[in-house]
C-alpha cells in the first residue's frame, strides 16, 4: 500500500469530511486532486523569473505551486463567477459548485477548490488567497479502474475509454472557447484535440495563445491534466 504524504492525508480527510466517505480509489477523485496539486507545482513554475528546486525537508509537507510569484497574473473571475458564466454558456455541460479543499499550507498564496463532473473527470482551480480570483483553471481525467466484481469485455472498455476522452476533449474546448472568445467553437475543438495529441505521453507540454497558456500533463494510466492560465505579455509581444 502506498504511503500518503501529510498533504495527501490532509486532502483526503478534508474531502471525506466535505463530500462523505465513499470508495475514493474506485471513484478516482482523490487521485485527481493529488494529480492536479502536483501538476500546479510544475505548470505555475513558468511564472518564476528564477526557477529553483523546491526545498523540503524529509517528511515535510510539499508546497502547492512553490514557484508562484506574488504578482503572477490572474483571471478576473472567482470560481463562482466562472462557474456561472460557464453554466450559462454551456447548460448541457453544467459544472457543480467548486468545493474548497483545506490543506496545511497556511503560508501558501493559493487556495484550492474542486468540482466533480463525473466519475472520471474533475475540474479544479488554484485561487489567489486574498482576492479569490483564479490563477489556474484545470481539468483532470483519471481513467476508470477495472473492478474484480464486474469483468468488462475489451471492446466495452475501449468504447467507455473513447467516450470519456471525448468528454474531456469537449470540456477542454469549452474552457478554451469561454476564456478565449476570439476562437470559434470549431477552432477551440481543434485546439483541444491538438493539445492532447501533442502532449500525449509528456509530463509537461505547453502552448500560448494571446494572453493564455495551455498546458497538458499526461501521466498515461494515472491520468491527464489540462490547465489554462493567464500570462503576461512582454513588450515584444504587444
Q: Is the dihedral of CA 226, 232, 234, 238 positive or negative?
A: positive
Residues sharing a CB contact under 8 Å with residue 145, sequence separation 6 or more, in sequence order: 25, 26, 28
Report the predicted TM-score, pTM, of the whole model to 2 decimal places. 0.74
pLDDT tens for the 238 residues of the chain, in order: 333 344 444 444 444 444 443 333 344 444 445 455 545 444 444 443 333 333 333 333 334 444 345 566 899 999 999 999 999 999 999 999 999 988 766 677 788 899 999 999 999 999 988 889 999 999 999 988 766 556 678 788 888 889 999 999 999 999 999 999 899 999 999 999 999 999 999 988 999 988 999 999 999 888 999 999 998 865 555 4
The values of phi and psi at residue 64, to 5°, are -90, 125
222: cell is: 494515472
Contact 111, 130 (CB under 8 A): no
Residue 7 has what pLDDT? 40
Please give the backbone phi and psi of residue 203, each rounded to the nearest 5 degrees, phi first: -70, -20
- Let me know: does 110 contact 126? Beta carbons within 8 Å: yes
Residue 72: partners with Cβ closer than 8 Å, 6 or more residues away: 44, 47, 135
Alpha-carbon span 84 to 62, nearest angstrom = 32
- Residue spans of the domains in the chain: they are 6-47+65-237
CA distance 141 to 123: 9
| Residue among 123, 159, 157 nearest 140 (CA) | 123
**How far apart are alpha carbons 138 and 65 in whole angstroms?**
14
Return the number of other C-beta atoms located less than 10 Å from residue 13's C-beta.
11
Kindly list the distances between the CA atom of residue 210 and the CA atoms of 181, 186, 219, in Å, as whole numbers in the listed order.
11, 18, 27
Task: Please give the Cα distance from 45 to 64 (Å, whole number).
Answer: 10
The whole-number pLDDT of residue 234 equals: 58
Q: Which runs of E-coded beta strand occur in the chain?
A: 99-101, 110-116, 121-128, 134-141, 205-209, 212-218, 224-230
The pLDDT assigned to 2 comes to 35
Q: Rounded CA gap, 177 and 172, in Å? A: 9
Q: Look at residue 145 in the predicted model and tell me its pLDDT.
A: 75
Amino acid at each position: 500500500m502506498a504511503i500518503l504524504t501529510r498533504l495527501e492525508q490532509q486532502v483526503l480527510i478534508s474531502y471525506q469530511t466535505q463530500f462523505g466517505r465513499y470508495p475514493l480509489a474506485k471513484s478516482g477523485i482523490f487521485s485527481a486532486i493529488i494529480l492536479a496539486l502536483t501538476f500546479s507545482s510544475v505548470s505555475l513554475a513558468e511564472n518564476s523569473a528564477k526557477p529553483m528546486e523546491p526545498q523540503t525537508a524529509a517528511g515535510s509537507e510539499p508546497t502547492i505551486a512553490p514557484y508562484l510569484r506574488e504578482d503572477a497574473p490572474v483571471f478576473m473571475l472567482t470560481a463562482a463567477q466562472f462557474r456561472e458564466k460557464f453554466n450559462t454558456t454551456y447548460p448541457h455541460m453544467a459544472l457543480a459548485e467548486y468545493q474548497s479543499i483545506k490543506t496545511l499550507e497556511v503560508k501558501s498564496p493559493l487556495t484550492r477548490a474542486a468540482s466533480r463532473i463525473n466519475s472520471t473527470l474533475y475540474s479544479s482551480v488554484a485561487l489567489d488567497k486574498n482576492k479569490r480570483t483564479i490563477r489556474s483553471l484545470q481539468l483532470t481525467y483519471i481513467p476508470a479502474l477495472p473492478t474484480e466484481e464486474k469483468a468488462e469485455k475489451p471492446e466495452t472498455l475501449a468504447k467507455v475509454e473513447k467516450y470519456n476522452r471525448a468528454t474531456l476533449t469537449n470540456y477542454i474546448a469549452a474552457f478554451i472557447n469561454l476564456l478565449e472568445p476570439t476562437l470559434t467553437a470549431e477552432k477551440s475543438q481543434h485546439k483541444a484535440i491538438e493539445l492532447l495529441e501533442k502532449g500525449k505521453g509528456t509530463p509537461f507540454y505547453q502552448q500560448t495563445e494571446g494572453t493564455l497558456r495551455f498546458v497538458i500533463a499526461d501521466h498515461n494510466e494515472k491520468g491527464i491534466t489540462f490547465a489554462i492560465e493567464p500570462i503576461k505579455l512582454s513588450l515584444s509581444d504587444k
